[in-house]
Amino acid sequence: MEKVKEWPLIKQIRQSVGLQRFMLLCGLVIMVLFLLCALFAPQLAPYGFSQTKADGVSFVPQSAPGEGHLLGTTVGGLDVLSRVIWGSRTALLAIIISVVASLFLGTFLGLVAGYFGGWFDRIMVMIADAVYSFPSLLLAIVLAIMLNANGGSVMGGIMSAGISITVVFVPQYLRVVRSEVMKIKNEAYVDSAKAIGASTSRIIFRHVLRNSTRTLPVIITMNAAEAILTLAGLGFLGLGIEPSAASEWGYDLNRAISDVTAGIWWTAVFPGLAIVIVVIGITLLGEGLNDLADPRLRLRKKPTPFTKEATK
């Protein structure tokens, strides 16, 4: 039981109080539901993401939410609930590809640039500044057009969206890790490791890396939320994943524009709510972790005469 209390998220929740705990718990609950929907989409969704008929009977297009279709159907006769559930799997895959790729690439480049400096550091900083000078969505659009020129399998679409998002995120990890490494490499324990003859690779990956990534969990949550918004933006513009290959919330919003003007609200509201709720959940989780990571924002419980701490 004591070991369970030291698990990462459980430890953070036990350390939090008040608003911090509320944000962490709300964000955690939303993220757990999102992950369950993504992982068990085939079991949870009543129909396939591109299914338009069941038992030989075609679905009625644009039917209102009711008994047969809890969230209604689209103009093409697709079940909205199934599209929303399957869309969570697409969003999760895009988050994993973009965040993991940018995390490893940006951390490695920031580590090398910050530790060695010199011409490599100047080039990396210059490239990062150049990427920052472009609007992130515009850059993702250009890259998505280039990467998805041959069109439309599900993995091809997810990879193109993930890679385009990765290019936008890499400079963030690079700058954060580089800044931390430049401070850490002058610490006494690094000089001691050099004095006893430790190899450069051991110093970098054993001593410097472990102490330069403390703020990365907060950045990961921020980038996960941004990845969903960027993927939705690409899908809304028709640059994401082919609708016949996978369900994607941004594409569904694009197809629902004409429905809204005709008073058919359910084809736009539910995919939009899915995006908003997941982004809010990730943001709440990230803000809660940020408060706990910053000593200036961390709140601690004050022991009272009736608490265990006061009676010890």
- Residue 82 confidence (pLDDT): 92
- Residue 148 confidence (pLDDT): 66
Helices 154-184 and 80-116: angle between axes, nearest 10 degrees: 30
Handedness of CA 191, 195, 198, 201 (dihedral sign): positive
Q: How far apart are CA 252 and CA 236, in angstroms?
A: 8
Give me the half-sphere count of Cα atoms (radius 13 Å) on the Cβ side of residue 275. Answer: 20
- Residue 52 confidence (pLDDT): 85
In this prediction the pTM is: 0.81
The full length of the chain comes to: 312
CATH class in words for 17-46+71-81+91-295: mainly alpha
Q: How far apart are CA 153 and CA 232, in angstroms?
A: 17
Q: Which residues of 120-146 are buried (b: 16+ CB within 10 A; e: fewer)?
A: ebeebeeebeebeeeebbebbbebbee
Which three-class secondary structure state does DSSP give residue 142?
A: helix
Give, for all 312 residues of the chain, the pLDDT tens digit: 555 555 555 666 666 666 777 787 888 899 999 999 999 999 999 998 888 888 888 888 888 888 788 898 888 888 999 999 999 998 898 888 888 888 899 999 999 888 888 898 899 989 888 887 777 778 778 877 777 654 555 666 677 777 777 888 888 888 888 888 888 888 888 888 888 888 888 888 888 887 887 778 778 888 888 888 888 888 888 776 777 778 889 888 988 888 888 888 999 999 999 999 999 999 888 877 776 665 555 544 444 444 444 444
- Residue 291 confidence (pLDDT): 65
8 Å CB contact between 272 and 255: no
Report domain extents, the chain. 17-46+71-81+91-295
The region, left, alpha or beta by phi > 0 then psi within -120 to 50, assigned to residue 56 is left
